[in-house]
Amino acid sequence: MLVLGRKPGEYVVINDNIFVKVVKSEDGNLRLAIDAPREVPIVRGEIHEAARQVEKV
């Protein structure tokens, strides 16, 4: 796992076509803007984990 520190307005690029930008950080909450091709699924972690638990049953 790669861990990076980013400030609001900064971003990282994944595979030349996915951009993850820090758009707001206040009171310890972090907000991300993700720009990716429509065919790339983007799912929140808790939804991903819940789906994995259902698959195990």
pLDDT in tens, 1-57: 999 999 889 999 999 999 999 987 678 788 999 999 999 999 999 999 999 988 887
What pLDDT score does 13 carry?
Answer: 97
What pLDDT score does 56 carry?
Answer: 80
What pLDDT score does 27 carry?
Answer: 80
Q: How far is CA 29 from CA 10, 22, 25, in A?
A: 16, 11, 6
Q: Are the CB atoms for 20 and 40 separated by under 8 Å?
A: no
